[in-house]
Structure 1
Amino acid sequence: MTSLVLASASPARLATLRAAGIDPEVIVSGVDESQVADLPPAELALELARMKAAAVVPGVQGRDVVVLGCDSVLELDGEALGKPGTPEEATARWRAMRGRSGVLHSGHALHHVPSGGTASATASTTVYFADVDNDEIAAYVATGEPLHVAGAFTIDGLGGAFIRRIEGDHHNVVGVSLPLLRELLAGLGVAWVGLWRS
């Protein structure tokens, strides 16, 4: 029976898949994301997702698995924003984002190991940020949460109160679009419901 391998260290992606009835095996790709630059935001997310999936495939040869690579970036003013990494960068991001909207792009790349088949696509969701004040930004950054996530925010954590609304798939903002994933799997001959834990 086919099972899913998640080539991502993201606890949010893992929690989303588990909530949807799938218990993937996690194998972190170890891909250096800084080696890819100068691509438009949606293409960058997709290329990084492809690289992550491809990095894990050699270690699972001979198994009946589908490897899923994902990567998310926030597009603001045409620029791709990944994880800020430092409190200063996270603070600057929030000062630029507040009261505005950005587009969260999540690249999804699948490798069906038995057949060698691949499928990939990007899902995009528009995110409208609240007009948070400087004290709220400072308090949020101090939690550490925005330092390690694409775009310096979460919708499923402390940052959820700072998102006014979205246009598109909620799960995509968390990091994996379940409807898109289901469609990509179907294209590879893998039934979504067949991946549900028994």
Structure 2
Amino acid sequence: MDAHSRIFKSVFVCYDYLGYGETSGRATEQSSIVICEHVLNYVQQTYQNSKIVLWGRSIGSVPTVAVGSDPRVSCIIVESGLSTALNAACTNPFCSCIDGFKNINRLENVNCPILLMHALDDDTIPYRCSLQNFEVLKRKQQCYRNEDSLFSEQINSCNNIMQSGNNWHYTFKTGGHNDLNENETTQIVNRFLINAFRTQENERKSVKTEPNFNGKDKLIISYI
């Protein structure tokens, strides 16, 4: 966290959920989402006029995606996230009615740029979950595909990255659930944020509004 805050010239805010780390209470899907909403409110009030990026890792991807439809959120990063609970446990889930943690449903409501990152050899949350999430983003983009996205030529030539509009999917060829390469992570996150913020600025300029991103005012909230 400390290293990334210096690299990205940003503030990282992280917290525990009920029942995790040193925080008491009972862990539930709904309580994690409610806490995430409270943290978002706190950050928005404390660091006004900053760009807010939600970064959700593993189970933390669930509240991150759930809150990601909030218009105050500029971008989302999902690291080693699940699609649904059953999809993480089974190749062919037998009954969706008892499923939970449904990122693939909530992604339909998210309109800001999203970066999905996942390792091929993740044995905690399978790589297929990340691909399932990206399929949702691809279907959404069919209605408003942006063929002029920045870096599209470089991305298409790199077999680690898939792009659909302003949404990216990055594959780590080595590593598992808890040991993604830090340098590789930093590079792809930085590249994604530069692209996302430049695209947003270009869209604002097209409607004759003043840009307000100077490269140093983005705020990253990290959910772990």
TM-score (norm 1): 0.34
TM-score (norm 2): 0.31
* Larger RCO, structures 1/2 (Cα 8 Å, 6+ apart): 2
